[in-house]
Structure 1
Amino acid sequence: MRFSPAGEPGVPDSRSATRYLIWLAARHKLLFSAGLLLGVTWMVAQALMPAAVGRAVDGLSRRDSDALLTWGLVLLGLGVLQAVAGILRHQCAVRNWLAAAYRTVQLTVATANRLGAALPRRVATGEVVSIGTSDIEQIGHAIDITARGTGALVAIATVAVILLDASMPLGLVVVLGVPVLMAVVGLLIRPLHRQQHAYRDAEGALTTRAGDIVSGLRVLRGVGGEPVLSARYRDESQALRTHGVRVARVQALLEAAQVLLPGAFLVLVTWLGARFALAGQISAGQLVAFYGYTAFLVSPLRQLTEAVDKLTRGHVAARRVVRLLQLTPELVDPARSATVPDGPGELVDVESGVRVPPGRFTALAAAVPEDAVAIVDRLGRYTDSDATLHGVPLRELALATVRERVLVADNDARLFTGQLRAELDPHGAADDAALDAALRAASASDIVDALPDGLDSLVAERGREFSGGQQQRLRLARALVADPETLLLVEPTSAVDAHTEARIAARLGVARDGRTTLVCTTSPLLLGHADHVIFVEDGKVVAEGSHADLHDTEPRYRSTVSRGED
């Protein structure tokens, strides 16, 4: 199984967050390797500076001007090298951060598209949002810190070799002291990891709760449930704050340890170096160099602890991303896709007995609305079934083929942010005449006319500036602009007034003349304009005919479309 945007090498089929981070780094081998090399150069240049200063001090004490000049120039060269390597390393770090973070976004979006309608049932909304707002940042930091962490390790090894060569006791203090310091700091990493994991879970749950409240705010106010949900959100928010305080407490201890322990180490090495200098075991220049090394070691030690911290955070985030990427869609393409004849064909739902004739305007009325939705899901292959097109089972066709030839437009569809023209015609294939015709058929021309820039106006998130009925008409116009071979509409006029519904009913059949159309509705206005009406009860077809004939001869149909009133 592979998870990747089109044209990208796939992520290995592994549940390992570590392997995912390695995979991200491998996507940009040259950039990542350059970052490592520059990180090592940047840190080693700093590590060699105390040695150059010590040699210059020894030259000064011997009144050797040539040595002083030579080591002064070496110090200048190291400073220039450090500055250049630092600038280039930072550029590589930013690019590595962006590459890792936004490749994760690409994979997440590709997975969301691949899962399709199954995504909301498989993953909470807050989990997906948190990946895009929080986890990508931690993953980017994990890739970025690798260069500095590697440079810090090489710099510490360089310093250890120099100190061991100059003074075995002082060298051993550094060689043995650094692992001890890292071990002490490492004791704080595990509780930090645990607290971060709990905080991330609570954050995702709270984001999901907030999304649910906002999307259902109108309904909550109607039933008086707003105070209850607000209180629940407040409690969960306080619980998240508690988790955040716990993370901050461990983080504060880690930050304090990063300052205190290297500082104590600096004092120890300086004291030992001064005693050796007084005893004549090391020169004044070497004492200065030792002091410089111990002061310098504060930086790589902090880099290492920061690396452990960020890699831990990145690992937590990557684990959640991998969990999402490992989700499989409910429907998959067959191993070998069948072929289906060109042109409109009869669409059949074997389970219910619904047969949608090609090129006609058909209406489906169900005694229970959920039955109509289930039938449309099967005909659109959003659930696995024995439904057929041209006599070929849909499960034997590639999903892309089914989506291209059969379009399902229901009231769960959303309006997205952007220009209205692009919202109605995402592929940019329709001209103004086609857009105007679709808007007129959906009785949505007045919506566009009221906008300041017409079709060039910007749509807010989820089209919140439009009422429910206006959004429904714009969604219908979008489906008509697509002009699919077969269009399945689910209650396309449930949120509009009677006058608007009458206009849509009169125009819809004309707009879809010669194209296969199925409208699931119990509206007499729409049913009266249909070429053929199918009545379903208990999930099975029980009657077919015109609206007038069924209304006169089928009491159950009459009761359904008249809402129980004669």
Structure 2
Amino acid sequence: MRTYPYPIKTSPDTRSPARYLLWLGSLQLPSLIGGIVCGSIWLLAQATMPLVLGQTIDRGILGKDWGALLAGAAVMLVLGLVQAIFAVLRHRIAVSNWLQAAYRSVQVIGHKITRTGDALPSAISTGELINTAASDAVRIGQIYDLTARLSGAVLSYLLVSVLIWNISWQLGLIVLIGVPVCCALLLFIIRPLQARQREQREMAGKMTAVGADTVAGLRVLRGIGGEHIFVARYRSRSQETRFSGNKVARSVATLDGTQLVVTGAFAVLFTWLGANLAVSGEISVGELVSLYGFSVFLVTPVRILAEMVSAVIRAFVGARKVVAVLSTDPAYADQGSTPPPSGAAPLRDTASGAVIQPGRLTAVVSSDPAASTKLAERLGRFDDAELAEHPVYWAETDLRRIPVASIRERIVFSEADPQLFSGSLRELLDPRGRASDESVLAALEDAGALDVLDGLDEGLDHQVTERGRGFSGGQRQRLALCRALLSNAETLLLAEPTSAVDAHTEARIAARLRAARSGRTTLVTTASPLLLGVMDEVLFLVDGRLAARGTHRELLSVPEYRTVVIRGE
């Protein structure tokens, strides 16, 4: 049993969709070559059968030569066996080529998503990303499935042309000219199909984006009775996508119908001309049968070529989307080589003027909660563009000069809307598997989440559903806080960690936070008096700049601060 995807040893070529497809094919050259060889033998054996049949009729039946008849039957049997064996091999290799290309595309997209940060979702919607990984990658893989059949179709077409030329040069000339003309006629339908498929792909992406937004905010929408608005939007997008899909279906149906008409008319003309040659005595009965078999076979190369062109169109549309994802510049570049401070050191944000002292509990309060969260994100280095004009210093070192891995190891950021992943609750809370069950239980108590565990029959072995949808908003927030506490990070940045919990639970969390983070640096963005009351220092921002600092009690004398805190309460 082989596992997919295979390792990727070179970086994707994102200069154009064509270069990306060539790069993808270069990673599976052995299997592509194997598919081409098997596909060529498969169709060449099929193309040779009408010739053998015709010669067997002339020599064995009309010539009454039983030896020639038996020999012809044996050759037909061998050709049938060769065709069957290599058809199976070609199909197996073709599916392998398809899966390799599709899974490699999914793999590079996944790597890009994990390494790009906030730059990717801000440039490309969630729905587009889902469609690119789930749909476009599969469409890209189809062209590598068809390479084996296409190569065999071209070789068998050339072989049949030579064989027909040996029977009648006039019919051979018709084949050499007529088949390319039939293929060219199909281009008049393929061009509109390409445009309609691109339009349908864009519509599907927009529909998926609306669906993802609706699902993500479903709980809030139901709370305010606004789900019908988003449902109406999704219904509208869905109808637009359906109508666009109908246009694509009409083009595909027209292409298939035209293909049958064109190839059928060519086969009828070819057979009629061959019959006239047989009546006039220019060719034998066996040669006429061979020509009829060749005319039937020539439908196959035309059909394969039309299928390949359609697949290439879809693949280019998909590759263009993949290249757009892979070409998105990351929010930060991991090019730093300066080591971080050897011990605990202050973090200084030049944009706001805030300084986070090591080993202390520090809160950030702002009339605009987004400004507080932005400060925490800058301290965690998630967007180098923001740090270009106003850098953040760790001790005396610019944060951008320090390797990202070193920053992530010692500075942990827990966002306001945390993500929970599927798996056991133990794995969710302690992804690295470093903590004992006793430590996990202690962290759950510090995060005020023991009641969440009490409601689960399997305890820490409970299987968490996707994005933790089996938990309420407050439960998810407390589990995320527990996960952050279990990281034992030297510096922990918590963005609104208790915004979704009730006052009693928040009081328990506030009472235990100091002991849980004793001796380590902790920054909390909040406007809750319960949390502010246990902080060593509170930083108050006005318009994103530090306006005052002190304890919560000291800052209550500042009218603007008191207004924000009372509103938070």
CA distance, structure 2, for counterparts of residue 7 and residue 91 of structure 1: 22
- Using the TM superposition, give the Cα deviation of residue 254 of structure 1 relative to its aligned residue in structure 2, in angstroms: 0.7
CA distance in 2, matches of 1:362, 1:564: 17
Query: After alignment, is 154-163 or 528-537 more displaced?
Result: 528-537
Aligned to 1:118: 119
Residue in structure 1 matched with residue 361 of structure 2 by the alignment: 361
Match of 2:558 in 1: 554
Gap regions ≥5 residues in structure 1: none
Aligned residue number for residue 332 of structure 1: 333
Instruction: Report the residue type matching 1:442 in the other structure.
Output: A
Shift of 1:199: 0.4
CA distance in 1, matches of 2:96, 2:6: 20
State the match for 2:34 in structure 1: 34
Equivalent residues in 2 for 1:165-204, closer than 5 Å: 165-204=166-205
The 3-state SS of whatever aligns with 1:411 is: coil
Shift of 1:263: 1.7
Question: Are the aligned partners of 2:418 and 2:477 in contact in 1 as well (CA < 8 Å)?
Answer: no
Report whether the alignment pairs 1:516 with 2:517.
Answer: no
Matched residues in 1 for 2:416 and 2:371: separation? 15
How much does 1:268 deviate? 1.5
1:152 partner amino acid = A
Q: Distance in 2 between matches of 1:22 and 1:13?
A: 10
Alpha-carbon offset, residue 50 of structure 1: 0.8
Supply the distance in 2 between the matched residues of 1:233 and 1:448 (Cα, whole angstroms).
37
1:409-460 deviation per Cα after TM superposition (whole angstroms, max 9, x unaligned): 1223211222222221222222212211211111111112211211211112
TM-score, structure 2 length as denominator?
Answer: 0.95
CA distance in 2, matches of 1:287, 1:562: 97
Residue 169 (structure 1) shift: 1.1
Q: Which residue of 1 aligns with 2:351?
A: 351
Cross-structure match for 2:472 = 467
SS at structure 2 position matched to 1:329: coil
SS in 1 for 2:202: helix
Q: Is the 8 A contact 2:120 2:325 kept in 1?
A: no
Structure 1 equivalent of residue 322 of structure 2: 321
Name the aligned partner's letter for residue 280 of structure 2.
Answer: A
1:401 aligns with 2:406: yes
CA contact (8 A) 1:142 1:313 kept: no
Q: CA deviation at 1:120?
A: 1.6
Distance in 2 between residues matched to 1:7 and 1:71, nearest whole Å: 50
Preserved CA contact (<8 Å) 1:262 1:301: yes
Q: What is residue 110 of structure 2 aligned with on the other side?
A: 109
Q: In 2, Cα distance between the equivalents of 1:239 and 1:499?
A: 49
Residue equivalent to 2:533: 528
Number of residue pairs matched by the alignment: 559
Write the letter of the residue equivalent to 1:292: G
1:267 equivalent in alignment to 2:268: yes
- What's the CA shift for 1:224? 4.5
Q: Aligned equivalents of 2:259 and 2:431: distance in 1?
A: 53
What CA deviation, in whole Å up to 9, does each residue of 1:495-514 have, x standing for no partner?
Answer: 10111001101111211112
State the match for 1:44 in structure 2: 44
Equivalent in the alignment of 1:79: 80
C-alpha distance in 2, partners of 1:195/1:539? Answer: 48
SS of the residue aligned with 1:562? Answer: helix
Q: Distance in 1 between matches of 2:476 and 2:308?
A: 49
1:50 alignment partner AA: P
1:330, distance to aligned residue in structure 2 (A): 2.7
- 3-state SS in 2 of match to 1:421: helix
Task: Give the match for residue 419 of structure 1.
Answer: 424
Contact 1:5–1:107 under 8 Å retained in 2: no
1:35-58 alpha-carbon deviations (Å, 9 max, x no partner): 111111111110011111111111
Deviation string for 1:144-180 (max 9, x for gaps)? 1111111111111110011111211111121111011
Match of 2:249 in 1: 248
Q: Deviations over 1:339-367 (max 9, x none)?
A: 22223211111222211111222222223
Q: 1:135 maps to what in 2? A: 136
Q: Which amino acid aligns with 1:281?
A: E
Q: CA deviation at 1:122?
A: 0.8
Superimposed CA distance per residue, residues 92-141 of structure 1 (whole angstroms, 9 cap, x where no aligned partner): 01111100001000011111112112222110111111112211121111
What is the rounded CA distance, in whole Å, between the counterparts of 2:216 and 2:176 in structure 1?
59
In structure 1, distance between residues paired with 2:226 and 2:550:
44
Supply the distance in 1 between the matched residues of 2:7 and 2:449 (Cα, whole angstroms).
Answer: 36
Q: In the TM superposition, what is the alpha-carbon distance from 1:226 to its structure 2 partner?
A: 3.1
Amino acid at match of 2:499: S
Report percent identity of matched pairs. Answer: 46
Distance 1:25 1:563 in 2: 60
2:339–2:403 CA contact under 8 A, matched in 1: no
Residue 524 of structure 1: how far off its partner (Å): 1.4
- 1:208 is paired with a residue of what secondary structure? helix
Of 369, 385, 392 in structure 2, the residue corresponding to residue 387 of structure 1 is: 392
1:223 CA displacement = 4.3
How big is the shift at 1:5?
A: 11
Q: State the Cα distance separating 1:222 from its structure 2 match.
A: 4.3
* Alpha-carbon distance in 1 for matches of 2:530, 2:83: 78
Q: Aligned Cα RMSD in Å?
A: 1.8
1:429 counterpart = 2:430: no
Deviations 1:282-331 (A, max 9, x none): 11111111111111112222111111111111111111111111111132
Shift of 1:399: 2.1
For residues 560 and 313 of structure 1, what CA distance do their matches in structure 2 show?
A: 54
Whether the 8 Å contact between 1:209 and 1:233 is mirrored in structure 2 is: yes
What residue identity is the alignment partner of 2:340? V
Q: 1:18 is matched with which residue?
A: 18
Structure 1 partner of 2:93: 92
Amino acid at match of 2:235: R
